Amino acid sequence: MEPDKKINIKGLVCPYTFVKAKLAIEDMEIGQVLEILLDYEEASRSIPKSMEDHGHKVLKVEKINDTDWIIQVRKEKD
Amino acid sequence: MEFTEEQLQRYSRHIILPEVGGKGQKKLLNARVFIVGAGGLGCPVGYYLTAAGIGTIAIIDNDNVELSNLQRQIAHSVNTLGMPKVESAKRTFEALNPDVKIVAIKEKITKDNILDLIKDYDIVVDGSDNFPTRYLVNDACVMLGKPLISGAILRFEGQVTTIIPKEGHCYRCLFEEPPPPGLVPSCQEAGVLGILPGVIGALQATEVIKLILGKGDILKNELLIYNALKTSFRKVRVKRNPDCPVCGHFPRIKELIDYTEGYCAIR
């Protein structure tokens, strides 16, 4: 699925990984998809969980190489 | 407005909260709050609102820092003894968070200056220690339609209430007139536990933040009473009085009053 917005938060650790992801999704419209590129393993688990806690839909969590993950989230509420 | 990297770090624990987020934090950064008194209540209120990143905080007080203040007035220190309290508080707050603009006003608040002083602020916090000021601030906020977070402390007991003029009760709906001079002892006469203004001030600051965010329940039509000896919180329901002399249907008080006669010069 082609995302509406992509952010690269490689090099960031918790909680700034989620802070950046949350600020990005806040500025989007409901129904739009955010793609997050990250390299902090813990965040590959915590961001999907936090996004769901905030009411959004996690579409994909994928390890794309030795160091990086891609997460896609669809905005479900303001 | 975009957050700086420093702001992202400073406010990260706010931004993560669903009820705050980046949008809420921006509301806080754009808010303007006026604090009456830089004493027991004004210090923690200003301290936490500064930490929260309230954009502009004005604080008014006409006194200087004394050693007897330091048991509870946490923005002051031995290094600022003799200095105007508002200057002392301004230094402390600015050291905590340079994002916040602190407006220090070393004046007595009176019926002649209050409307002009508070008119450009979103919310007023009363941390004064005397009835003339409490009633003056209430009446001015009712007249201007400004939300007011009122707090009071004595001995081991404190109270907080949030006044939203024309929507909820005001201070005069609760107590129509100030008590006669001398009936209710002041903190100087009766003493106060040093932590008490910390608890009550933190509650006042919480009310301010929720009002700005538009989240949660506020103490509208309610009076919260904290007893430090019993470790108890009690909420008392307060009704708006349709015959209230200042916010009722036919207000008798149409001009501000400085209650001075018989009241000691309270410091």
Please give the pLDDT value at position B185: 75
Query: What value does the mean pLDDT take over residues A28-52?
Result: 96
Q: Answer yes or no: do B9 and A16 touch at CB < 8 A.
A: yes
Q: What percent of chain B is predicted at pLDDT more than 90?
A: 91
Please give the pLDDT value at position B197: 98
Please give the pLDDT value at position B266: 42
| Interface subset of A 41-60, CB within 8 angstroms of B | 50, 53-55
Cβ contacts (< 8 Å) between A55 and chain B: which residues?
18
Three-state secondary-structure class, residue A8: strand
Nearest neighbour of B15 by CB, restricted to A19, A27, A53: A19
**B23 in contact with chain A, both atoms CB, cutoff 8 A:** yes
Please give the pLDDT value at position B267: 38
Cβ contacts (< 8 Å) between B16 and chain A: which residues?
15, 18-19, 22, 50
What chain A residue is nearest to B16 in terms of C-alpha separation? A19
Cβ contacts (< 8 Å) between A27 and chain B: which residues?
22
pLDDT digits (tens, 9 = 90+) for B189-244: 789 999 999 999 999 999 999 999 999 999 999 999 999 999 999 999 999 999 99
What chain A residue is nearest to B22 in terms of C-alpha separation? A23
What chain B residue is nearest to A20 in terms of C-alpha separation? B8
How many other CB atoms are there within 10 angstroms of residue B224's CB atom? 18
- Residues of A assigned a catalytic role: 14
* Cα separation values, A31 from A27, A57, B15, B181, Å: 12, 10, 22, 63
Tokens of B136: 């003056």
Q: How big is the A-B interface in CB pairs under 8 Å?
A: 29
What is the spatial distance between Cα B27 and Cα B34, in angstroms, rounded to a whole number? 16
**B5 in contact with chain A, both atoms CB, cutoff 8 A:** no
* Beta carbons of B100 and B93 less than 8 angstroms apart: yes
| Interface subset of B 135-194, CB within 8 angstroms of A | none
pTM: 0.93
Shortest alpha-carbon distance between residue B9 and chain A (Å): 7
**Any idea what DSSP says for residue B84?**
B
Please give the pLDDT value at position B228: 98
- Model confidence at A3, pLDDT cuts 50, 70, 90, reads very high
Q: Answer yes or no: do A15 and B23 touch at CB < 8 A.
A: no
What chain A residue is nearest to B3 in terms of C-alpha separation? A23
Give me the tens of pLDDT residue by residue for chain B, a chain 267 residues long.
799 999 999 999 999 999 999 999 999 999 999 999 999 999 999 999 999 999 999 999 999 999 999 999 999 999 999 999 999 999 999 999 999 999 999 999 999 999 999 999 999 999 999 999 999 999 999 999 999 999 999 999 999 999 999 999 999 999 999 988 877 777 667 899 999 999 999 999 999 999 999 999 999 999 999 999 999 999 999 999 999 999 999 999 999 999 875 555 443
Placement of tokens 């939203």 in the chain: B164
Provide the strand spans (E) within chain B.
Answer: 32-36, 56-60, 101-105, 123-126, 148-154, 157-163, 222-227, 232-237
